Amino acid sequence: MPTTPPLTRADWVDDRLRAEILVGRIAPGERIPVERLATAWGVSATPIRESLRRLSGEGLVTLLPQRGARVAAVDARLAADVYGVRLALEPLALRQSMIRAARSESEQTSFANDVVVARDRLMGSHASTEEFYADHREFHRVLLSRCANRVLIDQIEQLTDRARLFQLLGGAPVRRSDHRREHTDIAGLVVARDVDGAVEALTSHLLLTLEVIVRMAENHT
């Protein structure tokens, strides 16, 4: 059976640095302590600096000439721009995912089961905000998992990471109880094979989240 290839050092550093940013250990706008991270991780500063260039391309890091790098700062305008693109792409990917799953009864059953499992994990208790967001991200990933357009999915994954920076501004899960209710509704519509209803519910969920994040960003500046 095929196995997942082991991570290269570059991949490992990318994953560690991305995690430091996305769980808020290095806050938006904060300088990234390259030397301290290198010591803590047992690597040289070179792969970390190379990772910073890659994460800059994803919009997570801002490179400062001769001054290192910072986690990307966020503001209301950027939040609106990022969510504007998410609103264009994610409902499209969900529609494609549901239509593709419906081509066979076995695939539809498998897809519905995956969505229910991801929903149940999201509805469960979480020991930390980090765990909640991991399950939240996984739920969205599962919704789009039958979409065959990898370029579309890759773009959405990068936007999801950038959106996480906005959610960090509040220092606590954004609309956690509302998220759970909205995701329960989306999951129910997916299981019921209601493509238009699921797409509409996902769109509403993203719009409501954007409204809260814009207010948070405005208060943060």
138 and 38 inside one domain: no
Q: What angle do CA 218, 220, 221 make, to 5 degrees?
A: 70
113 and 185 inside one domain: yes
Residue 46 in domain: yes
CA distance 3 to 106: 25
Count of domains forming the chain: 2
Alpha helices per DSSP H over the chain: 9-22, 34-41, 45-57, 76-101, 105-123, 129-143, 150-167, 176-191, 195-220
156 and 47 inside one domain: no
89 and 131 inside one domain: yes
Mean pLDDT of 112-132: 88
Cross-strand bridge partners of residue 70? 31, 62
Residue 70, phi then psi, degrees to nearest 5: -125, 155
Distance of CA 51 to the CA centre of its chain: 19
Residue 89's domain comprises 76-220
How does pLDDT run across 44-93, given as a tens digit for each residue? 999 999 999 999 988 889 998 877 899 988 788 888 899 999 999 999 99
Residue 137 in domain: yes
195 and 213 inside one domain: yes
Residue 4 in domain: no
Q: Which two tokens stand for residue 221?
A: 């500046």
Residue 3 in domain: no
Mean pLDDT of 164-176: 62
Domain-terminating residue out of 71, 86, 106? 71
53 and 122 inside one domain: no
pLDDT number for residue 98? 98
**Global confidence as pTM:** 0.78
Residue 174 in domain: yes
108 and 200 inside one domain: yes
Residue 53 in domain: yes
Domain-terminating residue out of 71, 89, 108? 71
> The domain that contains 51 carries what CATH number?
1.10.10.10
Residue 29 in domain: yes
H-helix or E-strand spanning residue 69: strand 68-71
147 and 201 inside one domain: yes
Q: Which two tokens stand for residue 119?
A: 């929903």
Asked whether the predicted pLDDT for residue 172 surpasses 50, the reply is: no
pLDDT classification of 177: cutoffs 50, 70, 90: low
132 and 111 inside one domain: yes
Contact between residue 70 and residue 31 where contact means Cβ atoms under 8 Å apart:
yes
Q: Which two tokens stand for residue 194?
A: 């209601």
Residue 177 in domain: yes
pLDDT number for residue 22? 81
Q: Which two tokens stand for residue 129?
A: 């905000």
Mean pLDDT of 153-159: 94
155 and 213 inside one domain: yes
**Greatest mean pLDDT among 48-57, 116-125, 185-194:** 185-194
Domain-terminating residue out of 24, 53, 71? 71
